[in-house]
Structure 1
Amino acid sequence: MSSINKSFFVIVSMLSLLAFSSNAQLSPSFYARTCPKLQSIVRTTMRQAVATEPRMAASILRLFFHSCLQGCDASILLDDNATFTGEKNALPNINSLRGFEVIDDIKTNVEAACDATVSCADILALATRDGVVRLGGPSWIVPLGRRDARTASQSAANSQIPSPFSNLSTLITAFGSKGLTARDLIALSGAHTIGQAQCQSFRNRIYNSTNIDPNFATTRRANCPISGGNSNLAPLDLVTPTDFDNEYYTNLLNQRGLLHSDQELFNGGSQDALVRTYAANTITFLKDFAAAMVKMGNISPLTGTNGEIRRNCRVVN
């Protein structure tokens, strides 16, 4: 590790430790005695998954986002059952969330080492961090001690996860309701430096928006016809789609944000200056992203005796 990276990690680690005070029940050493090999197990499994398919890092990151925006309790991993309709088929998630099998694999490996000890919520938090690192992104200390929900709500997922068609004020309000600032919103949106989106989520933008680079729109139309092809994929960052860097913000400066909600961050509004800052300074972006990820991981976790430790992430015990 270079001296710059070491210094950066120290700064992020200090910010992460400060963030723990917002939820004293979470601790990076929560499993130090009960499952000391936890982090190495997660890291190894994620290394294999991302080596097989680099996109998987973005898929796990999206799982974490869509989980924590409703509370970091792994409810998003639950399959539907006779008592509730879960979140997997909610409008923001249906036929687009993926990576469940990777979480299953990690859970199986963790259970073999530490039976009924580690929550699926904590596994998802660790896997997210390790996936980002595998694509060159920042590391951060993950607070642990979350427990798993015994139920899930499709209606909550439909109402609480922002749409790719949202405007800036809607996004700021939605994130603010979860204790996240506008700066957190802009930093966390940088997750779109990796991953892909379906045609149906950006078709209107590439055919009807005026704040879009014409050449970029033409390129995207080639794989997203005006009708049909809803599930066709395009990289959220056309330049470095599998590198966790700050190119996403440069794209916004050039009106090459793929989603409407992306370009809203730089569209003559209140956050334009911050987008410029992140486009110009990779270290500032990575530091803010890591700190915001710790804050997101602290959204309404179940702790203590609440919830349970699921043995299978897809079903309650």
Structure 2
Amino acid sequence: MASSKFILIFVCFIIGSLMRSTNAQDPSKLTLEYYSKTCPHAQEIVRTEMECFVRADPRNAALLLRLHFHDCFVQGCDGSVLLDDTEILIGEKQAEQNVNSLKGFDLVDKIKEKLEAECPGVVTCADLLAIAARDAVVLVGGPYWHVPVGRLDAKEASLDLANNDIPTPQQGLLTLISKFWAKGLSATDMVALVGSHTIGFARCANYRDRIYGDFEHTSKYNPSSEAYLNKVKETCPLDSGDDNISAMDYASPAAFDNAFYDQLIRGEGLLNSDQEMWSSVLGSQTADLVNKYWADPGLFFKQFSDSMVKMGNITNPEGGEVRKNCRFVNT
């Protein structure tokens, strides 16, 4: 147990000393009052649109939350994930963890249209995503947090960073921890933020290896696992159905709660990367956090809120602009 903790501390120390300054931030740049005079109804507009989207389909909440997460892990929270490819710019939408997975871009477009009609050229796409992600969580029963705003939209995107920096479902615990640490996020932040999978769905291509490989190893002590495993295999055949989806929290997929952690304790995490937080032999710290968040939903909500603010404060040191259209840089 002690050696496991030492390995984690050592790895995190090395990574922390080498990490890029992607979270370099002047705290005065992001404030709760940033749009109070220039677009006082900005948050109300985002909230109204999100209410319509989530009412139409509760899964839309997970789409906007995932967009914000994938945005912040590449160059900071700068709206770069929203950029379409052009003749002179290669975007991030075709990255391994984004293609066929990220959705909701049309929803962002609709919110942006409303904001531009109210206050043209004022509210950034990066701020739009941060506010929409918070509202998405609240609308399906999760916690509320204040969202500091004032981010700028990137003028560039990075396909390479998207491929390298965004965690993947197949990665092990140390790699996952290192990727969060490289963004200034701790293992505590990681376990809390991954709790967002309580409202997420995963593509068969991202969990096939788990259910036809490691699942039986990590789940064999739980009698209910066999029935669950058979059901998931019906959705995700061994040799087809890459785009078929399954809920990462089968108990309450439309509600933001802490049931996701119970599934990890049962050994029934759908993604290998999720189950690693409980089952890895190096995961004494993360397993302890999983236990705590399952035992105390209030603690989970508090840490999730704090970690979302922390992640949302990762900025792009290159600065940027206020895009008129979230899909393209201004001309």
Q: What's the TM-score, normalizing by structure 2?
A: 0.87
Does residue 183 (structure 1) correspond to residue 188 (structure 2)? The answer is: yes
Report the 3-state secondary structure (helix = DSSP H, G, I; strand = E; otherwise coil) of the residue aligned with 1:104: helix
Q: Is the 8 A contact 2:151 2:315 kept in 1?
A: no
Does residue 278 (structure 1) correspond to residue 293 (structure 2)? The answer is: yes
Determine the C-alpha separation between the residues in 1 that align with 2:247 and 2:162.
Answer: 24
Q: Is the 8 A contact 1:206 1:217 kept in 2?
A: yes
Kindly state the Cα deviation for residue 243 of structure 1 after the two structures are TM-superposed: 0.3
- Please list the CA deviations of residues 106-138 of structure 1 after superposition, one character each: whole Å capped at 9, or x if unmatched: 100000010100100000000000011000000
1:5 aligned residue: none
Unaligned 5+ segments in structure 2 are: 1-24, 220-224
Determine the C-alpha separation between the residues in 1 that align with 2:190 and 2:128.
Answer: 24
Kindly state the Cα deviation for residue 153 of structure 1 after the two structures are TM-superposed: 1.1
1:220 aligned residue: 232
Does residue 257 (structure 1) correspond to residue 269 (structure 2)? The answer is: yes
- Which amino acid is the alignment partner of residue 130 of structure 1? D
Q: Is the 8 A contact 1:47 1:134 kept in 2?
A: yes
- Which amino acid is the alignment partner of residue 86 of structure 1? G
- Which amino acid is the alignment partner of residue 211 of structure 1? T
Kindly state the Cα deviation for residue 227 of structure 1 after the two structures are TM-superposed: 0.5
Kindly state the Cα deviation for residue 22 of structure 1 after the two structures are TM-superposed: 6.7
Aligned length: 295
Report the 3-state secondary structure (helix = DSSP H, G, I; strand = E; otherwise coil) of the residue aligned with 1:202: helix
1:308 aligned residue: 321
RMSD (CA atoms): 1.2
Q: Is the 8 A contact 1:147 1:302 kept in 2?
A: no
Q: Residue 293 of structure 1 is aligned with which of 300, 303, 308? A: 308
Report the 3-state secondary structure (helix = DSSP H, G, I; strand = E; otherwise coil) of the residue aligned with 2:69: helix
1:211 aligned residue: 218
Determine the C-alpha separation between the residues in 2 that align with 1:262 and 1:24.
Answer: 35
Report the 3-state secondary structure (helix = DSSP H, G, I; strand = E; otherwise coil) of the residue aligned with 1:222: helix
Determine the C-alpha separation between the residues in 2 that align with 1:221 and 1:179.
Answer: 37
Give runs of aligned pairs for residues 159-170 of structure 1, distance below 5 A.
Answer: 159-170=164-175
- Please list the CA deviations of residues 253-273 of structure 1 after superposition, one character each: whole Å capped at 9, or x if unmatched: 001100000100101422111
Report the 3-state secondary structure (helix = DSSP H, G, I; strand = E; otherwise coil) of the residue aligned with 1:211: helix
Q: What's the TM-score, normalizing by structure 1?
A: 0.91
Report the 3-state secondary structure (helix = DSSP H, G, I; strand = E; otherwise coil) of the residue aligned with 1:312: coil
Determine the C-alpha separation between the residues in 1 that align with 2:316 and 2:114.
Answer: 23
Q: Is the 8 A contact 2:77 2:126 kept in 1?
A: yes
Superposition misfits of 4+ residues, deviation over 2 angstroms: 21-24, 212-216, 300-303
Determine the C-alpha separation between the residues in 2 that align with 1:162 and 1:274.
Answer: 19
Does residue 125 (structure 1) correspond to residue 130 (structure 2)? The answer is: yes
Report the 3-state secondary structure (helix = DSSP H, G, I; strand = E; otherwise coil) of the residue aligned with 1:214: helix
Q: Is the 8 A contact 2:204 2:245 kept in 1?
A: yes
- Please list the CA deviations of residues 230-278 of structure 1 after superposition, one character each: whole Å capped at 9, or x if unmatched: 0001001000001000000001000110000010010142211110000
2:42 aligned residue: 38
Determine the C-alpha separation between the residues in 2 that align with 1:73 and 1:104.
Answer: 16
Determine the C-alpha separation between the residues in 2 that align with 1:36 and 1:258.
Answer: 42
Give runs of aligned pairs for residues 1-317 of structure 1, distance below 5 A.
Answer: 23-70=27-74, 71-209=76-214, 210-212=217-219, 213-267=225-279, 268=281, 269-270=283-284, 271-301=286-316, 306-317=319-330
Q: Is the 8 A contact 1:197 1:234 kept in 2?
A: yes
Kindly state the Cα deviation for residue 91 of structure 1 after the two structures are TM-superposed: 0.7
Kindly state the Cα deviation for residue 85 of structure 1 after the two structures are TM-superposed: 1.1
Report the 3-state secondary structure (helix = DSSP H, G, I; strand = E; otherwise coil) of the residue aligned with 2:202: strand
The more displaced of 207-216 and 250-259 is: 207-216
- Which amino acid is the alignment partner of residue 287 of structure 2? D
Determine the C-alpha separation between the residues in 2 that align with 1:302 and 1:142.
Answer: 19
Kindly state the Cα deviation for residue 214 of structure 1 after the two structures are TM-superposed: 2.6
